[in-house]
Amino acid sequence: MINQATKSQNQLPLPPGNLGLPVIGETISFLSDPDFATKRQNKFGNIFKTNIFGSPTIMMIGAEANRFVFSSENQNFTIKWPESVSVLLGTASLATQIGSIHQKRRKLLSQAFQPRALANYLPSMVEITNSYLHKWTNLGQLTWYPELRKYTFDVACKLLVGTDATNDHHFAELFEEWCLGLFTLPIRLPWTKFGKALKCRDQLLAKIEKIILQRQQQPISEQDALGLLLNAKDEDGNSLSIEELKDQILTLLFAGHETLTSALSSFCLLLAQNPEILAAARKEQQQISCTGALTSEHLQQMTYLDQILKEVLRVIPPVGGGFRSVIQTCEFNGYCIPEGWSVLYQIGKTHQDETIYKDAKSFDPQRFGIDRAEDKSKPFSYATFGGGMRECIGKEFAKLEMKIFAALLLRGYEWELVAGQNLDLAMIPTPQPRDGLKVIFHSID
Ligand code: HEM
């Protein structure tokens, strides 16, 4: 039986926009045109319909839209990634689980990201960062993006599952090819990106299973996410199945390095392009005397660096938005949001709202100083890590790694962009410079 509210909501108009071609809709333009959302926003406004990844979809831009989506999870919306993403992540991944099982697993996994756990991660993060900074100094000139990827993957392996990835290059390569299958048309043929990624998924899961079996032979330790998951019991007192553990670990390793690689490469790019901000960032580092190892007390003093990192993530957010499925017809801004459709809330476009962010296109860390605090003028206008009950679980881990990396880099090293390279960003699955960010790198003598 349709209730009265749903009936009247069904009478409202659908948002403006085009559904494109049969079946593929506007998927090709969505994947290939970096200005897909901007063009439609200019034409139709902050809410419009399209058809992507085989589903009629309503794109919503702005702080109010974010609030609406984040606050009605499980009521009007539930998570629904495009098929290519959900199949590659697996049904037992935190990112695809829903309802009470999602809440239970989230509670469990969040222990690996509590302040106490993060404090334990700090020395290893510093050590791995320093070893990469030395390596890059020896190289002198390098393509940074793939190197940053190796670095973030090493950190994720060490701190989330307790393994050393440096000796297993194949593991990282498999992830790269697996990532290329995300956000593609889910055509299961051996030569499609999706087909290749599916093959990589099997190989990745086999490697992860090996890591799990090895850990099961070792003494119990809850030092990392894998340790917590291995010791966890479900409501009937049973341990999590190996199949579930594999999907959860795959998700954490992926989410723990793909987004961070994008964020760090954007930091390096934006500071190289903004020498005055770079100079001010170095000045702050010089003012914080730090003999011996970097500690969390030192990091806390770096407030300007916090503003810079926040601004990097505003200008080039690693995750462009989030997909939901409409489970109950609802109304937003006078439009009908019909059950069975998808919704895509937009992070990147929200961050370009000129009514919130003055001169939104410019890179200006001062906008987050206490005197301006532009994002505080409206809740949910800063949405780099999403929000509500699906807010990024690794947010504090990501912020810590970014800050350690940035502080150590600013303290001891210089980098220049090699001339003549393409610095435009490829946007999918996460933003990355098309030529991989070629730099000349040296230590400050
Ligand atoms: C979810 C962004 C780093 C693990 C999310 C979401 C966003 C996001 C926007 C929500 C997606 C949605 O609403 O559907 C980022 C950014 C990062 C980052 C920008 C780095 C700068 C990390 C790290 C980890 C992680 C380091 C793990 C170590 C996850 C997981 C989810 C998630 C597991 C799914 C949570 C759930 O559905 O309950 N992330 N993330 N992320 N993130 Fe992150």
Distance 70 CA to ligand 1 centre (A): 14
The candidate with the shortest Cα–Cα distance to 107, out of 232, 272, 223, 258, is: 232
Q: Whose CA is nearest to atom 12 of ligand 1?
A: 322
Distance 315 CA to ligand 1 centre (A): 17
Question: pLDDT by residue (tens digit) across 71-112?
Answer: 999 999 999 999 999 999 999 999 999 999 999 889 888 888
60 - beta bridge partners? 47, 345
Distance 414 CA to ligand 1 centre (A): 30
Distance 407 CA to ligand 1 centre (A): 23
Round to whole Å and give the CA distance between 262 and 433.
Answer: 9
Question: pLDDT by residue (tens digit) across 386-443?
Answer: 999 999 999 999 999 999 999 999 999 999 999 999 999 998 889 999 999 999 999 9
In the predicted model, is pLDDT for residue 1 greater than 80?
no
| Radius of gyration for the alpha carbons in the chain, expressed in angstroms and rounded | 22
Using a 10 angstrom Cβ sphere, with 0-12 exposed, 13-18 middle and 19 or more buried, the burial of residue 39 is exposed
Distance 86 CA to ligand 1 centre (A): 15
In the predicted model, is pLDDT for residue 154 greater than 70?
yes
Mutational pocket test of ligand 1: of 124, 392, 393, 395, the residue with most ligand atoms within 8 Å of the beta carbon: 392
Round to whole Å and give the CA distance between 222 and 204.
Answer: 23
Q: Name the strand (E) or helix (H) holding 326.
A: strand 321-326
Q: Whose CA is nearest to atom 32 of ligand 1?
A: 392
Output the pLDDT for position 7.
65
**241 vs 162, 212, 227, 432, CA distance in Å?**
19, 11, 14, 36
Output the pLDDT for position 123.
92
Cβ of residue 439 lying under 6 Å from some atom of ligand 1: no
Mutational pocket test of ligand 1: of 101, 175, 385, the residue with most ligand atoms within 8 Å of the beta carbon: 385
Cβ of residue 319 lying under 6 Å from some atom of ligand 1: yes
Round to whole Å and give the CA distance between 401 and 88.
Answer: 26
Cβ of residue 117 lying under 6 Å from some atom of ligand 1: no
ipTM: 0.99
**344 vs 56, 294, 337, CA distance in Å?**
11, 40, 12
Q: Whose CA is nearest to atom 31 of ligand 1?
A: 392
Ligand 1 atom nearest residue 324's Cα: 14
Most confident of 94-103, 149-158, 186-195, 261-270: 261-270
Cβ of residue 153 lying under 6 Å from some atom of ligand 1: no
Cβ of residue 393 lying under 6 Å from some atom of ligand 1: yes
Question: pLDDT by residue (tens digit) across 30-74?
Answer: 988 989 999 999 999 999 999 999 899 999 999 999 999 999 999
Distance 395 CA to ligand 1 centre (A): 7
Output the pLDDT for position 2.
52
